């Protein structure tokens, strides 16, 4: 063992990324490459009266255009087949593609597109979740009933309600009838734009038979399958090649521009690049959904939580994307953390005439825990009990059951996380003084269980190759975690492990960088593969050393005979010998986390049934409010995070610091107001990302409770740091000003408004 | 129109429309793709290059206006043998990189800072990079990478 696991080994991509040599998707240049642009809807809802592209086509340097009329254009989607490639009769959101133009350069494509003659008759748009469910609301998709779902997958949906998950256990009404106190809240949370620095792009080529699509994408296999469905070819006709990804945070999990680039490459016979400029990227990104959450809790005479009733309305935008899975998440959130009786939950996601929403790090966990933990503060305040004390005295014990019936065997870890933040800075010492406040919030979160694989090959120079379709989206999961796990298996230094870039022609399926899964799943797949590879190494070395395989030891790049260390051969020699005599050494492993058992009748529409490999976290925020401006300054930020095992502590720290910064942006600054279906903010500056001067250094305590199924005990790391931030900040702001702000973001204007409502 | 300038110590002469930005010239004409395009509005700093040592957003700077000046891009930072500069190495060593898309712009801004102020404190570093957006790191490890250089150069 070299001790690679647990060491802050530097990233494999560090040199490439500091010298400008790293090729990101947007840097891919192919010989003969043409440049495409999309003509997009300028209104949120309307009927296309006329579209005349003749001037566009005639423009010098233009190769041609594509519209709905030229394409198969069947509706497709991640789970509900509701999204056309090009709008034909109706447009359903601002930015929806209507046509594509392809030209010699991007500048020519832009100039030509300005000559398009497009007439849209604007119709009344459904601009908010409340409008969507109002009686007699116009339907965003009048033909919703015709939309197909994958075989065997059905869930409740009707009209503007694209997905509904509901659970109505016995005893809720009785508990409310007998309650001493009832506390009720409503929270409204905004959209959050992933705002990765590299706008979305795709480059496609067609060789007469097969497509190759160059991407900077979190989930190459999904690109393959989604493009195949959208343009009507077999998945195996598409090869997806991954390049460095300039950030994704969930927005590069579904397809975006790839199907258009593929169709254009086939139609015009040359490689085609299609890339968003920033404003169209912002307008059309699958942002974190905005939501309205109503929550009511019945409380007994000793402060016990008797029952709860929750109603969540999520904004899916103009198509379903992955939202039908996310309506399940409240079932895993609202009965977690604290002991509670029966919980009734109804979650509806609705269509509106806005850009489709989708996955963003922590998905709807950010606003669901905002509601849960803000509500807990309100309960404690009503009962006149210290907010921390109230939480601690109601913590779920090991073996507790979620409303789904899932048993959390290790829920008691949360209590240790509360201890850990107290050690970083005592609760009673924070938030003291005028205009200061302190807030605390916890969360329990999953490690995404979806499948992955890895193939290991021992090279004849003693290095180890790892072939996987998993992606490095910046987190370090591949550049550090997976590489170090592979190194540890064979007693190699991390520098001697080479992990391939993703290529769907070469590596087996991997479910992409989502849900903090890569280190956990691919790391475990590597350990599975290593069993086979190790056996091949030892068999070969046994022949070379004339010893029995079971008497051999593998350490420090050498295989030696136990007890006589002078009898040894190097891994390079073993690899070369095997290659010459019995064939190269290689092996493959796969893994997917088994789903924990649940009660299948607990709810309807539960497409995402359980939270496997849970982890437990506590955040504390100390803030200071400027009463004149309403500006909230974050003075201190504490995180206790449970990670199973920190494979690379500095990389873990980077995930926590970066995740908290995104959470602060969500809580305080980042704003996408929707006005009659249109975003009011249309540039990065107006949107309001956190700057270096806004972001405090996060103080971190790591808890390690190794997962027996995880590689060296590792669980998911990257998502939890963003989840409780808005809740902790909201609680701190309320503590500071003595007024409740139940919206996200909590902008300076909101604070001033709350201060003036006395 | 023809513009002569120096890019990473090499003289170049480009034929480009007068409105062409330095970013487009670098990326599309000279194929120096290390300089990144992220907003083209002068809002994010991903496209930062040095013009006679001064950091500018190349996405809103006309190539024609750079005539006769010396441009340094991220490709011009490492040694002739490809070795990393102390700042580049410190970025690697201190986990100042995640996705790396903001990294070239940050390195250029920070090179200019260190040139002007070899021993900046935390606040000076944060102020210097307040025009460089990084969505991944939350900035702390970037600041630490710069601080580490100071400590090394002092010791
Ligand atoms: S690309 Fe130039 S400032 Fe953003
Ligand atoms: S490292 Fe990704 S934007 Fe800075």
B56 lines ligand 1 (CB under 6 A): no
* Plot region of A297 (φ>0 → left; ψ -120 to 50 → alpha; else → beta): beta
| Residue of B138, B143, B148, B149 to mutate, interface with A, max A Cβ within 10 Å | B138
Q: Which residues on B lie below 8 Å from A683 (Cβ)?
A: 39, 41, 43
Quick one: closest CA in A to B124, which residue? A693
Q: How many percent of chain B have pLDDT more than 90?
A: 94
Residue A72 predicted with pLDDT over 80? no
Residue B80 predicted with pLDDT over 90? no
Q: How does pLDDT run across A578-619, given as a tens digit for each residue?
A: 999 999 999 999 999 999 999 999 999 999 999 999 999 999
By C-alpha distance, which of A236, A237, A278, A268 is closest to A679?
Answer: A278
* A722 CA from centroid of ligand 1 (Å): 26
**φ, ψ dihedrals at A21, nearest 5°:** -85, -20
Residue A1 has what pLDDT? 44
Tokens 């009707």 appear where? A158
Options 3.40.50.920, 3.40.50.720, 2.60.120.10, 3.10.20.30; CATH of B2-76: 3.10.20.30
pTM: 0.97
B105 lines ligand 1 (CB under 6 A): no
Domain contains A141: no
Portions of chain B given CATH number 1.10.150.120: 86-154
Domain contains A372: yes
Residue A638 has what pLDDT? 98
What is the overall mean pLDDT for chain A? 97
Q: How does pLDDT run across A653-704, given as a tens digit for each residue?
A: 999 999 999 999 999 999 999 999 999 999 999 999 999 999 999 999 999 9
Q: How does pLDDT run across A266-278, given as a tens digit for each residue?
A: 999 999 999 999 9
Domain contains A162: no
Residue A578 has what pLDDT? 97
Which residues line the pocket of ligand 2, CB cutoff 6 A? A 197, 247, 474; B 97-102, 134-137
Instruction: Closest CB to B88: pick one of A18, A474, A475.
Output: A18
Alpha carbon nearest to ligand 1 atom 3, residue: B42
CA dihedral A196, A197, A199, A204 (to 10 degrees): -100
Domain shared by A470 and A563, yes or no: yes
By C-alpha distance, which of A616, A595, A449 is closest to A522?
Answer: A449
Domain shared by A438 and A482, yes or no: no
Domain shared by A549 and A679, yes or no: no
B34 touches chain A (CB under 8 A): yes
Count Cβ neighbours within 10 Å for each residue of A268-298 and write b for 16 or more, e otherwise.
bebbbbbbbebbbbbbbbbbbbbbbbebbbb
Which structural domain, as residue segments, surrounds residue A746? 291-447+598-756
Question: What is the enclosing helix (H) or strand (E) of A319?
Answer: none
Q: For residue A745, say if its preceding peptide bond is cis, omega within 30 degrees of 0.
A: yes
B43 touches chain A (CB under 8 A): yes
Number of domains present in the structure of chain A: 3
Residue B151 has what pLDDT? 75
User: How distant is the Cα of A442 from the closest Cα of chain B, in angstroms?
Assistant: 21
Instruction: Tell me whether residues B140 and A245 touch, CB distance under 8 A.
Output: no
* A482 CA from centroid of ligand 2 (Å): 20
β-strand partners of A671? none
Q: Which residues on A lie below 8 Å from B136 (Cβ)?
A: 247, 474, 654, 658
Instruction: Closest CB to A660: pick one of B44, B133, B138.
Output: B138
Neighbours of A428 (CB within 10 A): 11
Q: How many percent of chain A have pLDDT more than 70?
A: 99
| Residue of A9, A11, A19 to mutate, interface with B, max B Cβ within 10 Å | A19
Q: Which of B27, B28, B36, B38 to mutate to test the pocket of ligand 1 (most atoms within 8 A of CB)?
A: B38
Displacement of CA A690 from its chain's centroid (Å): 19
Instruction: Tell me whether residues A26 and B36 touch, CB distance under 8 A.
Output: yes
Tokens 């949107």 appear where? A687
Domain shared by A638 and A751, yes or no: yes
B133 lines ligand 1 (CB under 6 A): no
Residue A37 predicted with pLDDT over 50? yes
| A539, two tokens | 């068999």
Domain shared by A338 and A465, yes or no: no
Residue A526 predicted with pLDDT over 80? yes
Residue B154 has what pLDDT? 54
Q: How does pLDDT run across A123-166, given as a tens digit for each residue?
A: 999 999 999 999 999 999 999 999 999 999 999 999 999 999 99
Using CA atoms, how far residue A321 sits from A85, A555, A728, B130, in Å, is 14, 48, 29, 35
Residue A258 has what pLDDT? 98
Residue B150 has what pLDDT? 76
Domain shared by A743 and A613, yes or no: yes
Structure confidence at residue A565 as a pLDDT band (50, 70, 90)? confident
Q: How does pLDDT run across A740-753, given as a tens digit for each residue?
A: 999 999 999 999 99
* Residue A422 neighbours by CB under 8 Å, 6+ apart: none
Instruction: Closest CB to B133: pick one of A8, A475, A689.
Output: A689
Residue A16 predicted with pLDDT over 50? yes
Q: Which residues on B lie below 8 Å from A697 (Cβ)?
A: 140
Tokens 């011009």 appear where? B76
* Residue A486 neighbours by CB under 8 Å, 6+ apart: A454, A456, A464, A466, A492, A497, A499, A526, A530
Domain contains A143: no
Do the beta carbons of residue A396 and residue A411 sit within 8 Å? yes
Neighbours of B115 (CB within 10 A): 11
Which three-class secondary structure string do you get for A576-623? HHHHHHCCCEEEEEEECCCCCCCCCCCCECCCCCCCCCCEEEEEEEEE
Domain shared by A606 and A726, yes or no: yes
Residue A73 predicted with pLDDT over 90? no
Domain contains A152: no
**φ, ψ dihedrals at A158, nearest 5°:** -165, 135
Alpha carbon nearest to ligand 2 atom 4, residue: B134
Instruction: Report ipTM for this prediction.
Output: 0.98
CA–CA distance, A99 with A601 (Å, rounded to integer) = 46
Instruction: Closest CB to B100: pick one of A17, A662, A684.
Output: A17
Residue A61 predicted with pLDDT over 50? yes
Residue A758 has what pLDDT? 65
Domain shared by A206 and A242, yes or no: yes
Residue B155 has what pLDDT? 52
Structure confidence at residue A2 as a pLDDT band (50, 70, 90)? low
CA–CA distance, A259 with A68 (Å, rounded to integer) = 13
Do the beta carbons of residue B106 and residue B129 sit within 8 Å? yes
Q: What is the mean pLDDT of residues A234-247?
A: 98
Instruction: Tell me whether residues A654 and B92 touch, CB distance under 8 A.
Output: no
The tally of CA atoms less than 13 A away on the side-chain side of residue A318 is 28
Domain contains A191: no
Domain contains A295: yes
DSSP A384: T
Domain shared by A402 and A458, yes or no: no
Question: What is the enclosing helix (H) or strand (E) of B42?
Answer: none
Do the beta carbons of residue A48 and residue A118 sit within 8 Å? yes
Q: What is the mean pLDDT of residues A399-422?
A: 98
Domain shared by A520 and A550, yes or no: yes
Q: What is the mean pLDDT of residues A229-234?
A: 95
* Residue A356 neighbours by CB under 8 Å, 6+ apart: A83, A93, A286, A316, A317, A318, A319, A320, A321
Q: Which residues on B lie below 8 Å from A25 (Cβ)?
A: none
Tokens 């016990």 appear where? A304
**φ, ψ dihedrals at A482, nearest 5°:** -65, -40
User: How distant is the Cα of A18 from the closest Cα of chain B, in angstroms?
Assistant: 6
Domain shared by A407 and A483, yes or no: no
Do the beta carbons of residue A322 and residue A226 sit within 8 Å? no
CA dihedral A700, A703, A707, A713 (to 10 degrees): 70
Instruction: Tell me whether residues A197 and B88 touch, CB distance under 8 A.
Output: no
Domain shared by A53 and A105, yes or no: yes
Instruction: Tell me whether residues B36 and A697 touch, CB distance under 8 A.
Output: no
CA–CA distance, A505 with A503 (Å, rounded to integer) = 5
Residue A348 predicted with pLDDT over 60? yes
CA angle A545, A547, A550 (to 5 degrees): 125
Instruction: Closest CB to B137: pick one of A14, A194, A654.
Output: A654
Q: Which residues on B lie below 8 Å from A20 (Cβ)?
A: 32-35, 73-75, 104
Residue A424 predicted with pLDDT over 70? yes
Domain contains A9: no
Domain B86-154 sits in CATH 3.30.1490.190 = no
């Amino acid at each position: 063992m070299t001790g690679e696991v647990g060491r802050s080994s530097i990233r494999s991509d560090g040199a490439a990324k500091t010298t400008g040599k790293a090729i990101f998707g947007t840097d891919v240049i192919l010989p003969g490459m043409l440049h495409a642009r999309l003509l997009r809807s300028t209104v949120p809802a309307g009927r296309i009266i006329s579209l005349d592209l003749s001037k566009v086509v005639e423009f010098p340097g233009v190769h041609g255009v594509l519209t709905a009329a030229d394409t198969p254009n069947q509706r497709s989607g991640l789970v509900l087949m509701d999204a056309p490639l090009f709008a034909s009769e109706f447009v359903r959101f601002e930015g929806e593609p209507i046509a594509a133009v392809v030209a010699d350069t991007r500048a020519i494509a832009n100039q030509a597109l300005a000559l398009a003659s497009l007439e849209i008759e604007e119709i009344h748009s459904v601009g908010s979740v409340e409008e969507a469910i109002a009686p007699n609301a116009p339907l965003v998709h009048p033909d919703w009933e015709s939309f197909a779902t994958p075989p065997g997958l059905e869930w409740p949906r009707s009209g503007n309600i694209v997905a509904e998950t509901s659970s109505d256990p016995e005893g809720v009404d009785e508990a409310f009838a007998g309650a001493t106190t009832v506390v009720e809240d409503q929270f409204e949370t905004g959209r959050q734009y992933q705002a990765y620095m590299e706008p979305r792009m795709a480059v496609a080529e067609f060789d007469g038979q097969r497509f190759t699509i160059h991407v900077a994408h979190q989930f190459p296999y999904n690109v393959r399958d989604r493009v195949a469905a959208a343009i009507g070819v077999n998945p195996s006709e598409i090869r997806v090649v991954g390049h460095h990804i300039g950030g994704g945070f969930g927005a590069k999990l579904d397809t975006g521009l790839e199907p258009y680039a593929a169709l254009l490459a086939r139609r015009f016979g040359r490689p085609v690049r299609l890339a968003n400029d920033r404003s169209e990227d912002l307008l059309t990104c699958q942002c974190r959904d905005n939501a309205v959450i109503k929550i009511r809790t019945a409380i007994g005479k000793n402060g016990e939580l008797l029952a709860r009733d929750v109603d969540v309305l999520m904004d899916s935008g103009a198509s379903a994307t992955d939202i039908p899975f996310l309506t399940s998440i409240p079932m895993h959130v609202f009965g977690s953390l604290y002991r509670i009786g029966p919980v009734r939950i109804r979650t509806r996601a609705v269509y509106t005439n806005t850009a489709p929403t989708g996955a963003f790090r922590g998905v709807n966990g950010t606003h669901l825990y905002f509601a849960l933990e803000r509500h807990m503060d309100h309960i404690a305040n009503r009962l006149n009990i210290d907010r921390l004390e109230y939480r601690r005295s109601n913590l779920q014990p090991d073996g507790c059951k979620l409303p789904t019936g899932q048993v959390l065997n290790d829920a008691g870890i949360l209590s240790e996380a509360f201890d850990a933040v107290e050690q970083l800075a005592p609760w009673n010492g924070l938030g003291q003084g005028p205009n200061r406040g302190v807030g605390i919030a916890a969360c329990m979160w999953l490690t995404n269980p979806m499948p992955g694989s890895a193939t290991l090959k021992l090279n004849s120079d003693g290095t180890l190759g790892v072939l996987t379709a998993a992606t490095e989206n910046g987190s370090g999961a591949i550049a550090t975690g997976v590489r170090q796990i592979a190194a540890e298996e064979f007693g190699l230094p991390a520098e001697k492990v080479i992990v391939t870039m993703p290529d769907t022609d070469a590596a087996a399926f991997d479910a992409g960088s989502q849900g903090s899964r890569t280190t956990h799943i691919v790391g475990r797949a590597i350990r599975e593969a290593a069993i086979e590879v190790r056996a091949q190494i030892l068999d070969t070395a046994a022949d070379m050393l004339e010893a029995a395989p079971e008497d051999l030891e593998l350490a420090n790049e050498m295989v030696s005979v136990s007890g006589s260390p002078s009898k040894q051969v190097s891994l390079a020699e073993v690899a070369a010998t095997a290659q010459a005599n019995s064939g190269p050494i290689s092996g493959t492993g796969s893994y997917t986390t088994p789903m924990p058992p649940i009660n299948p009748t607990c709810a309807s529409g539960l497409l995402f049934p359980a939270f496997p490999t849970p982890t437990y976290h506590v955040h504390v925020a100390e803030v200071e409010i400027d009463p004149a401006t309403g500006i909230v300054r974050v003075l201190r930020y504490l995180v206790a995070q449970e990670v199973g095992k920190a494979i690379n502590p500095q990389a873990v720290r980077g995930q926590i610091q970066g995740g908290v910064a995104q959470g602060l942006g969500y809580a305080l600054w980042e704003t996408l107001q929707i006005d009659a279906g249109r975003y009011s903010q249309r540039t990065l500056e107006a949107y309001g990302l956190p700057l270096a001067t806004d972001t405090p250094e996060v103080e971190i305590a790591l808890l390690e409770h190794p997962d027996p199924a995880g590689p060296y005990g590792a669980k998911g790391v990257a998502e939890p740091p963003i989840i409780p931030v808005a809740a902790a900040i909201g609680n701190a702001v309320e503590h500071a000003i003595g007024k409740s702000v139940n919206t996200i973001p909590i902008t300076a204007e909101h604070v001033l408004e709350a201060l003036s409502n006395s | 129109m023809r513009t002569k300038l120096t890019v990473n110590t090499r003289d170049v002469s480009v034929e480009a429309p007068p409105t062409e930005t330095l970013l487009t010239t670098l990326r599309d004409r000279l194929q120096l793709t290390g300089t990144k395009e992220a907003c083209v509005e002068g809002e994010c700093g991903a496209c930062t290059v040095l013009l006679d040592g001064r950091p500018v957003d190349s996405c809103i700077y006309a190539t024609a206006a750079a005539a006769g000046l010396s441009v340094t891009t991220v490709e011009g930072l490492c040694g002739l043998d490809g070795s990393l500069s102390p700042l580049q190495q410190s970025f690697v060593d201190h986990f100042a990189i995640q996705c790396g898309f903001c990294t070239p712009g940050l390195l250029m801004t920070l090179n200019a800072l260190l040139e002007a102020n070899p021993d900046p404190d935390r606040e000076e570093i944060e102020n210097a990079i307040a025009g460089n957006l990084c969505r991944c790191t939350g900035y702390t490890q970037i600041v630490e990478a710069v601080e580490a250089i100071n400590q090394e150069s002092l010791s």
